[in-house]
Structure 1
Amino acid sequence: MRNKHPRGLLFLFFTEMWERFGYYLIIGIFVLYMIDPAATGGLAFSDKYADDIFGTYIALTYLTPFLGGYLADRVLGYFKAIYLGGFLMGLGYIGLGFHNITAFYVSMALIIVGNGFFKPSISTLVGNLYSTEEYKANKDAGYNIFYMGINIGAFICNIIAAFMRNQYGWSAAFITAGVGMFIGLIIFTLGRKHLESANVMKPVQEGDISLGRILGAVFLPAIICGAIGWMIPDNIFKSDSTDAFIFACIPIIVFYVRLYLKANHEDKRPLGALLAIFAVGMLFWAVFKQNGTALTRWANYYTDRQVTGTTEKALTGIYLVDQKDFQTKEVQKYDSQFQAEKNEAGEPVKVQGKDVYFTNISEEQRAELEKNPEQKVSLINTELFQSVNPGWIILLTPLVVGFFMFLRKRGKEPSTPSKIVLGLFISALSCLFMVAAVYIGSNGAVKVSPLWLVGTYGVITIGELCLSPMGLSIVSKLSPPRLTALMMGGFFLSISIGNKLSGVLASMWYDYENKANFFLVNCLLLLFATLLGLSILKRLNAVMKEKGIS
Structure 2
Amino acid sequence: MKTKHPKGLPYLFFTEMWERFGYYLILGIFVLYMIDSEKGGLAFDDKNADDIFGTFIALTYLTPFLGGFLADRVLGYIKAIYIGGFLMGLGYIGVGLFKELPLFYGSLALIIIGNGFFKPSISTLLGNLYNEEPYKANKDAGYNIFYMGINIGAFVCNIIAAFMRNKYGWGPAFMTAGVGMFVGLLVFTIGRQHILQANILKPVQEGDTKISDVLLKVFLPAIIFGLIGWFIPDNVFGSDSTDAFIFACVPVIYFYVMLYVKANAEDKKPIGALLAIFAVSLMFWAVFKQNGTALTRWANYYTDRTVPAPLEKPLEAIYLVDKKDYQDKEVSVYDDQYQVKKDKDGNALKEQGKDIYFRNISDLDRKSMGGNQPSEVNLYNTELFQSINPGWVILLTPIVVAFFMMLRRKGKEPSTPSKIVLGLFISALSCLVMVGAVYAGQNGLVKVSALWLVAAYGVITVGELCLSPMGLSLVSKLSPPRLTALMMGGFFLSTSIGNKLSGVLASFWYDYDNKANFFIVNFGLLLLATLLGLSILKRLNKIMKEKGVN
User: Which TM class, normalised by the smaller chain length?
Assistant: over 0.9
Give the corresponding residue for 2:285.
285
Do the aligned residues in 1 keep the contact of 2:5 with 2:138 (CA within 8 Å)? Answer: yes
Map Cα deviations across residues 384-442 of structure 1 (whole Å, 9 max, x no partner).
Answer: 11111111111111222222223333333222222211111111110001111111111
How far apart are 1:347 and its partner, in Å? 3.5
Give the corresponding residue for 1:440.
440
Do the aligned residues in 2 keep the contact of 1:324 with 1:379 (CA within 8 Å)? Answer: yes
How far apart are 1:70 and its partner, in Å? 1.5
TM-score computed with the length of structure 1 as normaliser: 0.94
How far apart are 1:132 and its partner, in Å? 4.7
| Distance change in 2, residues 1:273/1:199 (3 Å) | closer
Do the aligned residues in 2 keep the contact of 1:151 with 1:394 (CA within 8 Å)? Answer: yes
Do the aligned residues in 2 keep the contact of 1:8 with 1:195 (CA within 8 Å)? Answer: yes
Cα distance in 1 for residues equivalent to 2:488 and 2:120? 9
How far apart are 1:325 and its partner, in Å? 1.4
Do the aligned residues in 1 keep the contact of 2:139 with 2:473 (CA within 8 Å)? Answer: no
Give the corresponding residue for 1:331.
326
Cα distance in 2 for residues equivalent to 1:527 and 1:135? 35
Cα distance in 2 for residues equivalent to 1:227 and 1:535? 37
Give the corresponding residue for 2:364.
364
Map Cα deviations across residues 60-82 of structure 1 (whole Å, 9 max, x no partner).
Answer: 10111111121122222233222
- Greater shift after overlay, 119-128 or 56-65? 119-128
Q: Does 1:298 align with 2:298?
A: yes
Map Cα deviations across residues 295-319 of structure 1 (whole Å, 9 max, x no partner).
Answer: 0110011101012211x32xx2xx6
Give the corresponding residue for 2:454.
454
Matches within 5 A, 1:490-505: 490-505=490-505
How far apart are 1:6 and its partner, in Å? 4.0
- Greater shift after overlay, 68-77 or 176-185? 68-77
Do the aligned residues in 1 keep the contact of 2:475 with 2:488 (CA within 8 Å)? Answer: yes
Map Cα deviations across residues 256-277 of structure 1 (whole Å, 9 max, x no partner).
Answer: 2233333444433333322221
| Distance change in 2, residues 1:476/1:198 (3 Å) | closer
Cα distance in 2 for residues equivalent to 1:126 and 1:532? 30
Q: Does 1:50 align with 2:49?
A: yes
| Distance change in 2, residues 1:268/1:202 (3 Å) | closer
Cα distance in 2 for residues equivalent to 1:454 and 1:192? 38
Aligned length: 543
Give the corresponding residue for 2:267.
267
Give 3-state SS (helix, strand or coil) of 1:549's partner: coil
Do the aligned residues in 2 keep the contact of 1:339 with 1:348 (CA within 8 Å)? Answer: no
Matched AA of 1:331: Y
Do the aligned residues in 2 keep the contact of 1:12 with 1:188 (CA within 8 Å)? Answer: yes
| Distance change in 2, residues 1:167/1:465 (3 Å) | same
How far apart are 1:203 and its partner, in Å? 2.4
| Distance change in 2, residues 1:217/1:100 (3 Å) | same
How far apart are 1:25 and its partner, in Å? 0.4
Do the aligned residues in 2 keep the contact of 1:299 with 1:385 (CA within 8 Å)? Answer: yes
Matches within 5 A, 1:311-330: 312-313=311-312, 316=313, 321-329=315-323, 330=325
- Greater shift after overlay, 289-298 or 98-107? 98-107
- Greater shift after overlay, 162-171 or 486-495? 486-495
How far apart are 1:133 and its partner, in Å? 4.1
Matched AA of 1:103: L
Cα distance in 2 for residues equivalent to 1:14 and 1:257? 35
Cα distance in 2 for residues equivalent to 1:82 and 1:548? 31
Give the corresponding residue for 1:59.
58
How far apart are 1:202 and its partner, in Å? 2.6
Give the corresponding residue for 1:179.
179
Matched AA of 1:450: A
Superposition RMSD on alpha carbons, in Å? 1.9
How far apart are 1:201 and its partner, in Å? 2.5
Give the corresponding residue for 1:416.
416
| Distance change in 2, residues 1:539/1:142 (3 Å) | closer
- Greater shift after overlay, 121-130 or 243-252? 121-130
Map Cα deviations across residues 471-525 of structure 1 (whole Å, 9 max, x no partner).
Answer: 1222222233344343222211111111110010001111111111100000000
Do the aligned residues in 2 keep the contact of 1:296 with 1:382 (CA within 8 Å)? Answer: yes
Q: Does 1:256 align with 2:256?
A: yes
Cα distance in 2 for residues equivalent to 1:417 and 1:138? 16
Do the aligned residues in 2 keep the contact of 1:328 with 1:370 (CA within 8 Å)? Answer: no
Matches within 5 A, 1:96-495: 96-97=95-96, 98-133=98-133, 135-310=135-310, 312-313=311-312, 316=313, 321-329=315-323, 330-332=325-327, 333=332, 334-340=334-340, 342-371=342-371, 373-495=373-495
Give 3-state SS (helix, strand or coil) of 2:305's partner: coil
How far apart are 1:189 and its partner, in Å? 2.5
Matched AA of 1:86: G
Cα distance in 2 for residues equivalent to 1:25 and 1:204? 39
| Distance change in 2, residues 1:398/1:133 (3 Å) | closer
Do the aligned residues in 1 keep the contact of 2:127 with 2:473 (CA within 8 Å)? Answer: no
Do the aligned residues in 1 keep the contact of 2:76 with 2:200 (CA within 8 Å)? Answer: yes
How far apart are 1:341 and its partner, in Å? 5.7
Do the aligned residues in 2 keep the contact of 1:25 with 1:177 (CA within 8 Å)? Answer: yes
Cα distance in 2 for residues equivalent to 1:61 and 1:129? 25
Give the corresponding residue for 1:35.
35
- Greater shift after overlay, 414-423 or 222-231? 414-423
How far apart are 1:4 and its partner, in Å? 4.7
Cα distance in 1 for residues equivalent to 2:470 and 2:89? 30
Do the aligned residues in 1 keep the contact of 2:64 with 2:117 (CA within 8 Å)? Answer: yes
Do the aligned residues in 2 keep the contact of 1:331 with 1:358 (CA within 8 Å)? Answer: no
Cα distance in 1 for residues equivalent to 2:544 and 2:513? 45
- Greater shift after overlay, 242-251 or 185-194? 185-194
Do the aligned residues in 2 keep the contact of 1:58 with 1:499 (CA within 8 Å)? Answer: yes
Do the aligned residues in 2 keep the contact of 1:207 with 1:482 (CA within 8 Å)? Answer: no
Cα distance in 2 for residues equivalent to 1:80 and 1:170? 32
Cα distance in 2 for residues equivalent to 1:63 and 1:482? 20
TM-score computed with the length of structure 2 as normaliser: 0.94
Percent of residue pairs bearing the same amino acid type: 74
How far apart are 1:338 and its partner, in Å? 1.8
| Distance change in 2, residues 1:535/1:6 (3 Å) | closer
How far apart are 1:250 and its partner, in Å? 0.8
Matched AA of 1:501: L
| Distance change in 2, residues 1:246/1:153 (3 Å) | same
Matched AA of 1:327: V
Cα distance in 2 for residues equivalent to 1:406 and 1:78? 34
Matched AA of 1:221: P
Cα distance in 2 for residues equivalent to 1:306 and 1:157? 21
Do the aligned residues in 2 keep the contact of 1:12 with 1:126 (CA within 8 Å)? Answer: yes
| Distance change in 2, residues 1:7/1:401 (3 Å) | closer
Matched AA of 2:56: Y
Give 3-state SS (helix, strand or coil) of 2:369's partner: helix
Matched AA of 2:322: T
Give the corresponding residue for 2:23.
23
Do the aligned residues in 1 keep the contact of 2:140 with 2:470 (CA within 8 Å)? Answer: no
- Greater shift after overlay, 479-488 or 177-186? 479-488
Cα distance in 2 for residues equivalent to 1:336 and 1:225? 40
- Greater shift after overlay, 364-373 or 294-303? 364-373
